[in-house]
Structure 1
Amino acid sequence: MAVWALGINHHTAPLDLRGRFAFALDQLQPTLQGFRAALAHQPEATLLSTCNRTEIYCAAQETALDDTVQWLARTGGVTPQELLDHAYVLREGEAARHAFRVASGLDSMVLGEAQILGQLKDAVRVADEAGALGTTLHQLFQRSFAVAKQVRSCTEIGAHSISMTAAAVRLAGQLFEDLKAIKVLFVGAGEMIELAATHFAAKQPKSMAIANRTLERGEALASRFGAEVLRLSDLPERLHEFDAIVSCTASTLPLIGLGAVERALKKRRHRPMFMVDLAVPRDIEVEVKALDDVYLYTVDDLASVVQTGKDHRQAAVAQAEAIIDAGVQSFVHWMNQRNPQAGVVGLIQQLHQQTEQWQQAELAKARKRLAKGDDVNTVLEALARGLTQKMLHGTLAELHAGDAAQRQATADTATRLFLRGALPPEPRAHR
C-alpha cells in the first residue's frame, strides 16, 4: 500500500493562489467523490482545506501522484507546473510525519494552535461520510489525533501562543486609543468569527454587529454577545457606521469592494477604518489596502504578530518532534506488517543495486584490459570469474562460519538458491 500527500500552505504559496484551492466544509464531500472518480483505482482520500492550507492525503496499492497533481491543478485553474512550483509532495513516512505535525499545531502560522486539530477531524469525518476513508488513512489520522493529544498534554507547545483573532484585537488597540469607544462589525458566523467576537467582546466595545448570509445563524451568534444582526445586502449602506470590520466567510468572491469602502470613508469624513480579512479566498478586495484611511490586514499580514512567544516554545517543539518521530515509526511498522511484501520489494531493489555495482566494477576492469590489448577471451573469462566470485563470496563465507547447525542451514539455503537446476530428479515412487 502506498501513501502520498500533496499540498500548499502559508509557507509555500501566496494568499491569492491558496484562494484558488480553498474548499468550504460542505464542498469537501462532492470534491472528494469527483477526485476518486477521476482516478482509475479510486484511492482512499482525505481533503483538508483551511485559510492557511489545502492538502490531499491518499492511499492506494500504487502511487498515483501524477494524476493527483493533474486533478488538483485543474481544480484550481492552474497548470501542473504552476501548482508544483508552490506545492509539497510527500510519500509514506514523510506524509505521516506531515499529518502528525499539522494535527499537533507545529505546521501552523500560530505555533501550537489547537484549532487545526478540529478542522482536521472535520475533514476526516467528511471523508468517511463520502466513502473515501479506507483502513490505511483511518489508521494514519487516528494516530495523528493520538500524537496531537500526547503533544498537547506532555509539552508546553501551546503556551504563550497568540491566536489570529487575538492578534487582530491587539492591532486594533494600537490604532484606537480606547476600544470601548468603537463599533465592530463581524462578517460571517463561523468558528473564526466566533473567536474574534469573543476576543473583541472582552474589550467591551461600544457596539457589535454580525452580518451573515443566513440570518438564523447570525442571530444565534449575535444573541451570545448582545450584538445586532445585519443582512449581507445591508453592508454597502451601513459600512460607514463601523470602526472595525472583521470578515471571514466561505464566499468565492469578495463581499466588500473598493467602491463600498470609498463611499464609507467619505461618509465617515475619512476617520480611519480597521479591517481584518481572515478569509481565503479574500472577502475584501485587495485594492482597499491602498486607501489612506484604511488599515487592512489579511491572514498573512498577521504572521509577524502571532510569532510572539515562539522563542519560548522551542524546547517544547523539540519534545513534540520526538513524540512525532515515535508516531511515524509506529505507523511505518504497521504499514510493513500489513504488507509483508514491502520488505521483500526493498530487498529485491537492494539486490539489483548490488549486482549492478558488481557488473559496473567488472566491466570497468575488462575495458581497461581490452584497451591495453589483452586477449578478448582471457578478459571475458576474468569478467565471468570476477562476477561469480563476488556473487558467491558471502555464501562461501557463511558456510565456513558459525556452528554445525548454522552451517547446515546455510548449506540448505545455498542449495535451493544456486543448485536448483543442477539437482538430480527425485526417484519416482513405485506403485
Structure 2
Amino acid sequence: MSDEFGGIMSINLSGMKAVLLTDLTAIREAFLDKADSFADRFNHPLNEYVNGVKGSLIFENGKGWKLHRRMTLRALRNFGMGKRSLENKINEEARCLARSFQDENGRPFNPQPTVQNAVANVICSISFGSRYDYDDPEFRRLLDYIKVFMEQLSGPSLVGAFPRLWFTPLYKSLKNQNDECRTFLRGLVEQHKDSFDTNDIRDIIDVHLQENEEGGAEENIPQSLIWRGIFDLFAAGTDTTSNTILWGILLLTQYPQVQENVQQEIDDVIGRERPPTLPDRLHLPYVDATLMEIQRFRPVACFIPPRAASVDTELRGYTITKGTQVWANLYAVLHSPEHWKDPEEFIPERFLSADGKRTETREAFVPFGAGRRICIGEQLARMELFLFMTNLLQRFTFKIPKEDPKPNLAGEHGITLSPGRFRICAVTR
C-alpha cells in the first residue's frame, strides 16, 4: 500500500479512521519534530475493558503518565539498568537457562517456555524482588496467560474489532486468566505494603510505595493502581525480549556461517569459561552487529502501540484531526530498500564499519520506536539480548532437528511478532 499511496495514508480499522506512517521521515516528523502534537496514546475501548488505562505505563496520557514514566525509568536505573549489579543477575539467569538446555542432552526440544521463564525472572527481580523456579505452577500460569494475551488481543483479532465480546463466553477463559493475573499482582503489592521499610527499597513496587509515603496526593500513583504499571512492565518486557531471543536462536540455525562467526569472536575475546560482561560488547563488533540484524530482520514490535493527535495538526501536508489514531509501521522502515540494501536478506555485516572493527547504527534502525514514548526498557532489553545470547552461544551450537520441516521465518502476528513454535537441538560445544 505504501508503494502506491506513499509514506502516509489513512485506513479504516473496524470503523475507526487511522493514519498509518510507513516512511521514516514522516515518523520522525510526527514523533520528534511535532512531539507535542502526537505524544498522547490512542486508547482502544478494549484497553479499558481488559485492564483499564489508569496507572498504565503504556496507555495512560497526561500528567499521570509523565510522572509514572519518569518514576519507573528512575527506578529501573536505580535497580541496575545498564549497571554491573543487574548484569550479574542476568548472567546468573542465563546460566540457569543454559543448564535447562544442557539437561536436554542434545535432544530436540521447544525452547520457548524456558527462554520466557528466564527473561521473566529478570523482570520479576526488578519489579517485585523475586525470581521463580521454572516449574513453579503459579509462575507458569502467569507466563502462559501473558503468551495467550499477546496472541489473542492484537488489533486484527475478533475482540479487537468488537470489544464487547470480552464480556461474552467466547473470551470467558481468557478473562478468568486476566482476573487471576490481576489478583496475583495486587497480592504482591499488598505483601510489599505489609513488609515495607523505607530504609530498604527492594524493587519497583517499593519505589511506588515510597513515593506515596513521601509525595503529595498529586505526585504519586494510588496504591490501588500500582499493579497496573507492573503488569505493563512484566507483560511487555517478557514477551518482546523472549521473542527476540527466540528469533535469534532460530535465525542462527538457518544461517550457520553467521552462528560460527559469532562463536569464533566470542571464543577469541571472552573464551568459554568466564561469563560475558557489558564492556565486552565493545570488543565484539560482529556479535553486536548480529544482534542488531536480528532486531532489524524480525522486529518483534512491527507496529508500536498507536499514538493519538492531541490537537488538530498538519503532517506532510495533510490535516490530522484531534483524536485520530496514528500508527507507525516499524517493520516497513526496517525493511525499506531506501535505507537497506537487500532488506529481505539476513546480513549482519550491514552494521559493521568497512574494516569490521566496530558497529555502525543507522538512522533507520528503530526497533524500539522513537520520540517521547520510545520503549522505556530499551537499555534493559539490549542488556538481556547481549548477555543471554552470548552466554548461550559460548556453550551451544543450535540446529534444527533433521526430522523437522524447515521453519517458517514469516512469524506469527499477535501484539508482537513471534517465531511461532519450533524445536532445536542445543549441541554442547
TM-score between the two structures when normalised by the length of structure 2: 0.23
- TM-score computed with the length of structure 1 as normaliser: 0.23
Q: Relative contact order (alpha carbons < 8 A, sep ≥ 6): 1 or 2 greater?
A: 2
Q: Which has the larger radius of gyration?
A: 1
